Amino acid sequence: MFFPTHLFIAVLIGRARFPTVWVVFGAALPDLVDKPLAMAGVVQTYHTVVHSALFGAVFAVALLLAWSTERGPSVGVVVATLVGWGSHLGADALHITLNGRPENTVFLIWPVVETWDSIDAGPGPFILQYAGTTSFYLEVVIWVCGGYLLLRDGPAGGVLGRS
Ligand SMILES: [Zn+2]
């Protein structure tokens, strides 16, 4: 999915449930780390280190260790970051499956499986090959429906304004 859609999904998830900025931070991490790594030639595809569920296990332990320290993040920050990160992986796996490449969801177990038949399109070529696909239209629906919810209920999901 497009990077802004990951952030938008994070905003929708965070509304009145989690500290939204941390959900957005978690949702941004996979692309902020993995895409530069691939563009620099450090890894072979755009879904590797931080797109791996195995990284998630290490990440969760690291966050929980930080939480357990005196000056560590709150449990809300830890959960929000992990929820945002998980939303990114789930959305990418859904996008790849909807676009007819379910076998490529093996990115979730990188580095156990390091290579697959990836389209390996950089950000520019990706936009061109992605426009008009099933997942592209799903993103349009997410923006329209999510935008409607934000306009109708406000960023806090209407919870703050209810009596
Ligand atoms: Zn991604």
134-156: pLDDT as tens digits: 999 999 999 999 999 999 988 77
Q: Domain span at residue 101?
A: 3-153
Residue 160 covered by a domain: no
- Position 65 pLDDT exceeds 70: yes
- Position 161 pLDDT exceeds 60: no
Residue 162 covered by a domain: no
More confident residue, 163 or 71: 71
In percent, the amount of the chain with pLDDT more than 70 equals 92
How close is the Cα of 135 to the center of ligand 1, in Å?
A: 13
Angle made by CA atoms 145, 147, 149, in degrees to the nearest 5 = 70
Angle made by CA atoms 33, 59, 68, in degrees to the nearest 5 = 135
Q: DSSP letter string over 15-61?
A: TTTS-HHHHHHHHHHHHHHHHHHHHTTSSSSSSSSTT-HHHHHHHHH
- Position 55 pLDDT exceeds 90: yes
- Position 159 pLDDT exceeds 60: no
- Quick: pLDDT tens for 77-130: 999 999 999 999 999 999 999 999 999 999 999 988 877 777 666 667 778 888
Helix 53-67 and helix 75-98: axis angle, to 10°? 170
pLDDT of the residue at 123: 67
Residue 110 covered by a domain: yes
Residue 102 covered by a domain: yes
Residue 54 covered by a domain: yes
- Position 36 pLDDT exceeds 90: yes
Residue 57 covered by a domain: yes
How close is the Cα of 28 to the center of ligand 1, in Å?
A: 8
Amino acid at 76: G
For 136, list phi and psi in degrees, rounded to 5.
-60, -45
How close is the Cα of 92 to the center of ligand 1, in Å?
A: 6
How close is the Cα of 83 to the center of ligand 1, in Å?
A: 14
pLDDT of the residue at 162: 41
How close is the Cα of 146 to the center of ligand 1, in Å?
A: 20
Residue 88 covered by a domain: yes
Residue 163 covered by a domain: no
How close is the Cα of 82 to the center of ligand 1, in Å?
A: 15
Domains identified in the chain, total number: 1
How close is the Cα of 72 to the center of ligand 1, in Å?
A: 27
